[in-house]
């Protein structure tokens, strides 16, 4: 949490010292991986939705917020029990972008505040409810391509390292996301 | 009190003190008798007061050679067994000795009066029986003769001592027996043709040469070897034999043992009921206990497990190592074939303890109704110690030697010869054997006297009352293969006669035994069979009346599930792991009953058996069960039982983490 507070202060610092020059809003849709092998075995690769809003606060810098939603069902062997996992939560980030005409490559660094939940249909798992929160840094890079004003399409690769320990073992919920987005850019 | 008497009392008191204190300090001396006597109390697995004392009898110096064996025979028909001792000295003719029982289990040497100057060279097998049917014990001995080149076999032959009314034993072998064609080694006796007279079977050493001697009823024997099958088995050298009825047809068959180990198992000659024999199928007997290369040196036959069928106790010798010589026990499958149950023998020296090469090594020494075993432990350099195995209802044969005879080994010398016999006519089984001495100065006969104190009351003891049968209840259905028959104690009774039969008229008797406790463990019951049982109480006055007859039915046997196994599965749910104990088993092919379900019981690992609780009851078609949702620390032991349509639950198969 301390990291998040520091990050928010930095973002606010940038905002107060720079003049807003543009606004970007849109939605990413993509796929993500989960590092944990057991979860990967149960759920495989899942899809994410990631709406975002960012503000250009300088020539190359910006700040933004987003929300990532991952919701996936699977089957646990050997008893073929139905399982569902949901990982979601808000994200804040700083961005740095370059301007090459209609192509704007960028990188993000930020922090996410996620909640995770797993439900399994089984009569044998009393005491094993999974419903908790976790936070961590996120890193992303991508490119925005202006199609026609104000519409742009985006392609982004993001990585979130996120370790949790709801029970005895540490579980790596981190993983890669590769997403395509469609958004609107105003004043950029 | 005068001064003198006062002084005298003090002197007496002081003397008494001086006498008593050392006794208390150093303990009471062991009881002594003629020769050496030792005294050992026994432990809980024997009757609490059962023990043996030992008497020793020296061979007169003039007759000292090398004691080879001792045989119990009542040669003066006074009702007390006397002894005949055999010697072996450098394969030279040595005197056969006689010792007369004084009626109290003590012996005096009486060779000249009983036998005269009779010499044997290398006696091997001895059989006591009334061959001429005059009511007196006779004695048959085979003598191997010299076992040394260049005159190997010289002097071999038979002795047939016929007891005369004047208490002498006269060797009449030359007129009553044909000659043996080779070197006689082992012998067996039985009435092969049902004519009421004892016939003889003799086997040789070094080849398949044997002789069947058929008694004409007056103790004259003819060679009827043609009644035996032709020994068409290469390298088959049967050198010991035993007559027993393997298939319960009422006619003795012949066990043919071979010590050389040239065949994987021994063979049996089956009696067709007329005294003619054929080979039983090769799979009648299981393999030798130590596999190929091991052989059988002797066999004893009796019903060890109370099922009414003759079982076998074999002495095994491992020709490969030359060192191992265990006991092999074969139970009759109640169809004339046998199975190995040698794993029921427990004891400290099983590899080096067998039953020797003599007769009468199986008898009930503790009055529990079950025949026990007299073993011979090969100690060092060819010397032997007798060992006693108590039969626990056919389920276990426990070496109790150290408890009964003490840890002070009784060195029986070599060869391992001794036998059970009631030496003092007190109704229990004693043990006789020999201490050979190669220096010809201290050859001794030992007698281990069974001192089980049967209650003997004085005065006008009434006949014992009628026992009241307790369990099983009349008409009960009994599961499993064994049942504990119990009854109320009858005051003044010191033993009971128990009869179990397949019919209420007791014409098809399963067994008829004497026991000293008020319970009897009946084992190896046959499923769907109704058993009738009754009792008489016995005391020194006599035998009481029969109890009422109860009956019970043995349910069809239901065995524990076969091949029960446990597999620990890890179920990984990503955020946590949960474990499953997967139990698998198979229907037991030996189960004759209809299994309607399986029951699974569970207890935490390392907790007592009282912690078992029923976990699941599954239909009979199910042969797997998952105990799910377990944490890593949850470890369990399971029992799986089969439950029959007759309401009988099997013994459990037990598995665990």
A74 falls in which pLDDT band (50, 70, 90)?
A: very high
The whole-number pLDDT of residue B8 equals 54
Question: Does A42 contact chain B (CB < 8 Å)?
Answer: yes
φ/ψ of B5, rounded to 5, equals -65, -35
CA atoms within 13 A on the CB side of B640: 30
Peptide bond into B361 cis (omega under 30): no
- The label of the residue with tokens 């007798």 reads B386
User: How high does pLDDT run on average in chain B?
Assistant: 83
B570 to chain A: which residues are within 8 Å by CB? none
Locate A39 and state its tokens.
């979860």
Alpha carbons B18 and A187: distance in angstroms, whole number: 128
> Would you call A78 and B576 a contact, using CB atoms and an 8 Å cutoff?
no
Q: Which of A182, A184, A138 minimizes the C-alpha distance to A28?
A: A182
Locate B539 and state its tokens.
């005391």
B572 to chain A: which residues are within 8 Å by CB? 38, 41
Say whether pLDDT at B407 is over 80: no
Alpha carbons B229 and B300: distance in angstroms, whole number: 22
Q: Which of B530, B521, B524 minimizes the C-alpha distance to B477?
A: B530
Question: Does A80 contact chain B (CB < 8 Å)?
Answer: no
What string of DSSP letters covers B120-135? Answer: ES-EEEEEEE-TTSSS
Locate B147 and state its tokens.
């076992």
- The label of the residue with tokens 């469609």 reads A182
Per-residue model confidence as pLDDT tens digits over B135-167 = 899 999 999 888 777 777 778 889 999 999 999
Cα B363 from chain centroid?
5
Decide which of B135 and A111 is more confident.
A111
B573 to chain A: which residues are within 8 Å by CB? 38, 42, 76, 83, 118, 120, 125, 128
Alpha carbons A106 and B354: distance in angstroms, whole number: 92
Q: Which of B283, B252, B145 minimizes the C-alpha distance to B206?
A: B145
φ/ψ of B135, rounded to 5, equals 85, 5
CA atoms within 13 A on the CB side of B441: 1
Locate B370 and state its tokens.
């079950």
Per-residue model confidence as pLDDT tens digits over B505-544 = 999 888 888 787 888 888 888 888 999 999 998 876 678 8
B569 to chain A: which residues are within 8 Å by CB? 78
Question: C-alpha angle B546/B547/B553, rounded to 5°?
Answer: 120
Are the C-beta atoms of residues B552 and B546 closer than 8 Å to each other? no
**Using CB atoms, which residue from B572, B578, B632 is nearest to A125?**
B578
B34 falls in which pLDDT band (50, 70, 90)?
A: very low
Nearest chain B residue to A80, by CA: B571
B577 to chain A: which residues are within 8 Å by CB? 168-169
> Would you call A118 and B575 a contact, using CB atoms and an 8 Å cutoff?
yes
Question: C-alpha angle B254/B340/B520, rounded to 5°?
Answer: 90
φ/ψ of A169, rounded to 5, equals -100, 145
φ/ψ of B114, rounded to 5, equals -95, -45
Q: What is the ipTM of this complex?
A: 0.87
List, as ranges, residues 18-37 from A with C-beta within 8 Å of B.
36
Say whether pLDDT at A18 is over 80: no
A48 falls in which pLDDT band (50, 70, 90)?
A: very high
CA-based Rg of chain A, rounded to a whole angstrom?
18
φ/ψ of B101, rounded to 5, equals -80, 130
DSSP code, position B48: T
Q: Which of A15-29, B67-81, B540-554, B603-617 shows the lowest per-residue confidence on average (mean pLDDT)?
A: A15-29
φ/ψ of B501, rounded to 5, equals -140, 165
Q: Which of A96-100, B189-193, B394-398, B600-604 shows the lowest per-residue confidence on average (mean pLDDT)?
A: B394-398
Strand order in the sheet with B444-450: B52-58, B444-450, B430-435, B418-421
> Would you call B577 and A124 a contact, using CB atoms and an 8 Å cutoff?
no
**Residue burial B58-86, b: 16+ Cβ < 10 Å; e: rest:** ebeeebbbbbbbbbbbbbbeeebbbbbbb
Alpha carbons B16 and A61: distance in angstroms, whole number: 119
Per-residue model confidence as pLDDT tens digits over B462-496 = 778 889 999 999 999 988 778 999 998 887 777 88
Per-residue model confidence as pLDDT tens digits over B556-594 = 888 999 999 999 999 999 999 999 999 999 999 988 899
Alpha carbons A183 and B473: distance in angstroms, whole number: 91
What mean pLDDT is predicted for residues B194-204?
Answer: 93
A78 to chain B: which residues are within 8 Å by CB? 569, 571
Identify the three-state secondary structure at position B638: strand
* Substitution target from B568, B573, B630 for chain A, most A beta carbons within 10 A: B573
Other Cβ atoms closer than 10 A to B275: 18
**Using CB atoms, which residue from B569, B576, B628 is nearest to A167?**
B576
The whole-number pLDDT of residue B31 equals 30
- The label of the residue with tokens 């080979």 reads B279
Locate A163 and state its tokens.
């370790």
Q: Which of B433, B413, B403, B409 minimizes the C-alpha distance to B421?
A: B433
Alpha carbons B81 and B98: distance in angstroms, whole number: 11
Alpha carbons B637 and A118: distance in angstroms, whole number: 32
Alpha carbons A128 and B573: distance in angstroms, whole number: 10
B576 to chain A: which residues are within 8 Å by CB? 128, 130, 166-169
Q: Which of B260, B253, B254 minimizes the C-alpha distance to B237?
A: B260
Count of A-B CB contacts under 8 Å: 49
Decide which of B79 and B313 is more confident.
B313
Decide which of B412 and B99 is more confident.
B99
> Would you call B573 and A36 a contact, using CB atoms and an 8 Å cutoff?
no
A118 to chain B: which residues are within 8 Å by CB? 573-575
Alpha carbons B223 and B347: distance in angstroms, whole number: 43
Closest-CA distance of chain B to residue A81, Å = 10
Say whether pLDDT at B653 is over 90: yes
Question: Does A86 contact chain B (CB < 8 Å)?
Answer: no
What is the H or E stretch that residue B596 is in? strand B595-604
> Would you call A76 and B578 a contact, using CB atoms and an 8 Å cutoff?
no
The whole-number pLDDT of residue B7 equals 56
Alpha carbons B208 and B239: distance in angstroms, whole number: 8
Are the C-beta atoms of residues B422 and B416 closer than 8 Å to each other? no
* Substitution target from A40, A41, A73, A79 for chain B, most B beta carbons within 10 A: A79
Nearest chain A residue to B570, by CA: A78
B571 to chain A: which residues are within 8 Å by CB? 76, 78-79
Summary count for chain B: helices (H), strands (E) = 4, 47
Other Cβ atoms closer than 10 A to B26: 8
Helix, strand, coil % (nearest 5) of chain A? 10, 65, 25
């Amino acid at each position: 949490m301390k990291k998040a507070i520091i990050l928010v202060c930095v973002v606010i610092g940038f905002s107060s010292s720079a003049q807003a020059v543009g606004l970007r809003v849109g939605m990413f849709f993509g796929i993500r991986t989960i590092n944990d092998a057991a979860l990967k075995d149960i759920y495989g690769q899942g899809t994410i939705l990631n709406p975002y809003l960012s503000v250009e606060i300088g020539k190359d810098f910006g700040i933004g917020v987003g929300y990532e939603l991952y919701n996936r069902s699977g089957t646990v062997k050997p008893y073929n029990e139905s399982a569902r996992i949901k990982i979601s939560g808000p994200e804040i980030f700083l961005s740095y972008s370059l301007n090459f005409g209609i192509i704007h490559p960028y990188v993000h660094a930020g922090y996410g505040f996620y909640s995770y939940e797993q439900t399994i249909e089984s009569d044998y798992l009393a005491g094993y409810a999974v419903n908790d929160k976790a936070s961590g840094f996120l890193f992303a890079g991508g490119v925005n391509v202006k199609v026609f004003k104000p519409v742009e399409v985006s392609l982004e690769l993001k990585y979130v390292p996120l370790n949790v320990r709801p029970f005895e073992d540490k579980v790596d919920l981190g993983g890669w996301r590769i997403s395509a987005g469609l958004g609107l850019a105003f004043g950029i | 009190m005068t001064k003198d008497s006062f002084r005298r009392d003090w002197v007496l008191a002081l003397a008494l003190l001086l006498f008593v204190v050392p006794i208390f300090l150093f303990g009471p001396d062991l009881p002594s008798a003629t020769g050496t006597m030792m005294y050992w109390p026994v432990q809980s697995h024997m009757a609490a007061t059962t023990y043996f004392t030992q008497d020793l009898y020296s061979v007169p110096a003039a007759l000292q050679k090398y004691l080879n064996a001792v045989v119990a025979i009542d040669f003066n028909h006074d009702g007390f067994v006397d002894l005949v001792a055999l010697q072996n000295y450098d394969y030279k003719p040595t005197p056969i000795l006689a010792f007369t029982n004084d009626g109290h289990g003590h012996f005096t040497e009486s060779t000249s009066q009983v036998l005269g100057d009779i010499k044997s060279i290398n006696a091997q097998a001895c059989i006591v029986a009334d061959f001429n049917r005059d009511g007196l014990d006779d004695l048959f001995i085979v003598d191997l003769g010299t076992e040394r080149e260049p005159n190997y076999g010289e002097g071999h032959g038979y002795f047939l001592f016929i007891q005369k009314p004047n208490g002498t034993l006269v060797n009449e072998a030359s007129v009553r027996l044909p000659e043996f064609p080779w070197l006689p080694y082992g012998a067996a006796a039985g009435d092969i043709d049902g004519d009421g007279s004892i016939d003889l079977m003799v086997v040789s050493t070094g080849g398949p040469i044997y002789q069947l001697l058929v008694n004409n009823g007056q103790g004259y024997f003819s060679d009827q070897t043609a009644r035996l099958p032709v020994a068409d088995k290469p390298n088959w050298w049967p050198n010991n034999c035993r007559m027993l009825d393997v298939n319960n047809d009422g006619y003795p068959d012949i066990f043919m043992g071979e010590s050389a180990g040239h065949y994987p198992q021994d063979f049996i000659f089956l009696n067709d009921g007329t005294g003619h024999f054929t080979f039983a199928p090769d799979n009648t007997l299981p393999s030798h206990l130590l596999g190929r290369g091991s052989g059988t040196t002797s066999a004893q036959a009796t019903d060890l497990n109370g099922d009414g069928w003759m079982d076998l106790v074999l002495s095994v010798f491992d020709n490969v190592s030359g060192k191992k010589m265990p006991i092999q026990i074969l139970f009759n499958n109640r169809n004339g074939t046998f199975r190995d149950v040698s794993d029921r023998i427990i004891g400290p020296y099983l590899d080096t303890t067998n039953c020797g090469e003599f007769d009468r090594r199986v008898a009930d020494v503790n009055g529990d109704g079950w025949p026990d075993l007299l073993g011979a432990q090969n100690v060092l350099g060819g010397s032997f110690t007798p060992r006693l195995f108590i039969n626990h209802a056919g389920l276990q044969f426990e070496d109790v030697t150290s408890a009964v005879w003490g840890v002070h080994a009784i060195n029986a010398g070599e060869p391992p010869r001794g036998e059970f016999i009631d030496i003092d006519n007190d109704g229990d089984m004693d043990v006789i054997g020999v201490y050979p001495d190669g220096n010809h100065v201290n050859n001794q006969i030992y007698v281990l006297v069974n001192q089980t104190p049967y209650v003997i009351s004085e005065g006008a003891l009434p006949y014992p009352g009628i026992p009241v049968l307790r369990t099983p209840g009349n008409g009960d259905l009994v599961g499993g293969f064994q049942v504990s028959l119990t009854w109320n104690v009858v005051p003044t009774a010191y033993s009971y006669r128990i009869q179990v039969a397949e019919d209420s008229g007791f014409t098809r008797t399963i067994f008829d035994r004497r026991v000293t406790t008020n319970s009897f463990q009946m084992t190896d019951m046959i499923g769907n069979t109704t058993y009738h049982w009754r009792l008489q109480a016995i005391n020194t006055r006599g035998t009481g009346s029969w109890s009422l007859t109860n009956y019970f039915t043995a349910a069809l046997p239901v065995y524990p599930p076969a091949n029960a196994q446990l597999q620990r599965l890890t179920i990984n749910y990503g955020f946590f792991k949960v474990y499953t104990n997967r139990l698998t088993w198979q229907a037991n092919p030996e189960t004759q009953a209809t299994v309607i379900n399986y029951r699974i019981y569970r207890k935490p690992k390392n907790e007592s058996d009282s912690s078992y609780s029923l976990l699941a009851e599954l239909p009979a078609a199910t042969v797997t069960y998952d105990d799910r949702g377990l944490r890593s620390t949850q470890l369990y032991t399971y029992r799986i039982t089969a439950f029959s349509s007759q309401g009988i639950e099997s013994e459990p198969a037990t598995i665990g983490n």
